[in-house]
């Protein structure tokens, strides 16, 4: 069997550096390596509604931001099928059958869900839809028989849940669904990029992001106000690298060639050593980070501008992709119903 790649994002905001380093970069690499039969990228609007049901406008507004982000980082509509989750009803039907295979306590034990429940203030009463989103994610993945999922490491417990559904389904109803594996970025720092504020994860919902569509001025402002080492007051002071977000981001985004281009140091290690021993100011290291990020973001902004001016083209890409995805998911739904024995009129 060949490779089927699938992944997606919630349209709860524009995509940020965490998405880029944790997932988008791998998607573009895999797209260009070409070692797959089909590649799908889904805008998970229905999932986004599970914790934003009272703010549908936010989801509507960001749907277009997310597709623009995809196209601007270099995902190619000739290679990738982009689709909107809520338009593919088959996914909801699959979710309904899979819900029987998962217990409430299993969902409550999911570490990602646990953290997100606290972040969203759902401890006292969690919406059923939100608790159930890992099951709907199992439907999203299995509907396309996807086996490779390029994601950040917060998704690992969710993919495990998907595979548990697959195993239960295949055991009870016969071999039908396919297990999947996460494709993670190499370095740990890339698998879960911390927020600008130093918190565990850069996340749209936490508002601690540099967005791929931020202007140069916005990026400059955000970098200049980044958290470094609170005890590093004067340039001569010895500085800490650990927990210093500027160095954390340099670890994730820079290479030594860039360090020597934008500073007097020939490598990031050399720059770190100077900071640790004293004599290197925060403004200087922030300038290097700013330049490194600008090198990444400038071409992305340019591509975005093109698509912003060609929204008809963008809408067609989404519409055609969604039709194709729907037809693929329908095929799996038929197999699933047949396996369960509820394909009465086939
Ligand atoms: P939300 O706060 O609405 O959940 P999010 O910022 O977590 O938004 P998602 O749409 O949930 O973004 O995530 C989409 C993909 O991007 C997932 O594969 C996720 O693992 C990855 N991702 C998100 N944030 C990061 C991050 N900070 N570092 C690495 N990968 C990330
Ligand atoms: Mg998330």
| Angle, alpha carbons 95-134-326 (nearest 5°) | 45
Task: Tell how far the Cα of 194 is from the centroid of ligand 2, in angstroms.
Answer: 13
Atom 16 of ligand 1: nearest residue by CA position: 19
pLDDT tens per residue, range 242-297? 999 999 999 999 999 999 999 999 999 999 999 999 999 999 999 999 999 999 99
Q: Are 74 and 25 in contact (CB under 8 A)?
A: no
* Spacing of C-alpha 205 from chain mean position: 13
Atom 7 of ligand 1: nearest residue by CA position: 203
pTM of the model: 0.95
pLDDT tens per residue, range 135-178? 999 999 999 999 999 999 999 999 999 999 999 999 999 999 99
Q: Are 165 and 142 in contact (CB under 8 A)?
A: yes
For the chain, domain boundaries: 4-193+311-340, 216-304
Q: How many residues does the structure list for the chain?
A: 346
- 57 by Cβ neighbours in 10 Å (0-12 / 13-18 / 19+) ranks as exposed
Among 20, 22, 192, which residue has the most ligand 1 atoms within 8 Å of its CB, making it the best to mutate? 22
Q: Are 225 and 210 in contact (CB under 8 A)?
A: no
Please tell me the class of the 4-193+311-340 domain: alpha beta
Please give the pLDDT value at position 206. 82
Task: Tell how far the Cα of 152 is from the centroid of ligand 2, in angstroms.
Answer: 9
The C-alpha atoms of residue 141 and residue 146 are separated, in whole angstroms, by 6
Which residues sit with their C-beta closer than 6 Å to ligand 1?
A: 9-10, 12, 18-19, 22-23, 151-152, 154-155, 191-193, 201-205
Please give the pLDDT value at position 199. 86
CATH architecture assigned to 216-304: Orthogonal Bundle (1.10)
């Amino acid at each position: 069997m060949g490779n089927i790649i699938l992944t997606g994002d919630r349209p709860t905001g524009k995509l940020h550096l965490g998405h880029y380093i944790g997932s988008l970069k791998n998607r573009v690499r895999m797209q260009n390596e070409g070692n797959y039969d089909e590649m799908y990228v889904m805008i998970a609007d229905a999932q986004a509604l599970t914790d934003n049901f009272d703010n549908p406008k936010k989801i509507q507004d960001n749907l277009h931001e997310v597709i623009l982000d995809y196209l601007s980082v270099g995902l190619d509509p000739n290679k990738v099928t982009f689709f909107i989750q809520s338009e593919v009803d088959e996914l909801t039907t699959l979710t309904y059958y899979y819900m029987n295979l998962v217990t409430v306590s299993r969902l409550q034990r999911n570490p990602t869900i646990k953290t997100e429940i606290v972040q969203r203030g759902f401890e006292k009463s969690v919406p059923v839809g939100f608790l159930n989103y890992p099951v709907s994610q199992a439907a999203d993945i299995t509907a396309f028989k996807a086996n490779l999922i390029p994601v950040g490491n917060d998704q690992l417990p969710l993919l495990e849940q998907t595979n548990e559904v697959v195993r239960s389904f295949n055991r009870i109803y016969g071999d039908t669904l396919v297990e999947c594996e996460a494709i993670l970025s190499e370095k740990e720092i890339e698998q879960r990029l911390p927020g600008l504020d130093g918190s565990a994860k850069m996340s749209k919902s936490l508002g601690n992001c540099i967005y791929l569509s931020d202007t140069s001025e916005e990026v400059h402002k955000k970098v200049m106000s980044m958290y470094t080492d609170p005890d590093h007051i004067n340039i001569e002071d010895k500085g800490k690298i650990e927990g210093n977000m500027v160095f954390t981001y340099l670890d994730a985004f820079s290479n030594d060639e860039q360090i020597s281009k934008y500073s007097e140091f020939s490598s990031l290690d050399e720059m770190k050593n100077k900071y640790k021993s004293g004599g290197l100011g925060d403004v200087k290291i922030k300038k290097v980070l700013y330049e490194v990020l600008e090198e990444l973001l400038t071409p992305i902004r340019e591509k975005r501008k093109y698509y912003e001016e060609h929204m008809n083209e963008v809408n067609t890409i989404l519409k055609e992709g969604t039709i194709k995805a729907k037809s693929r998911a329908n095929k799996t739904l038929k197999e699933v119903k047949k396996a369960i024995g509820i394909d009465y009129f086939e």
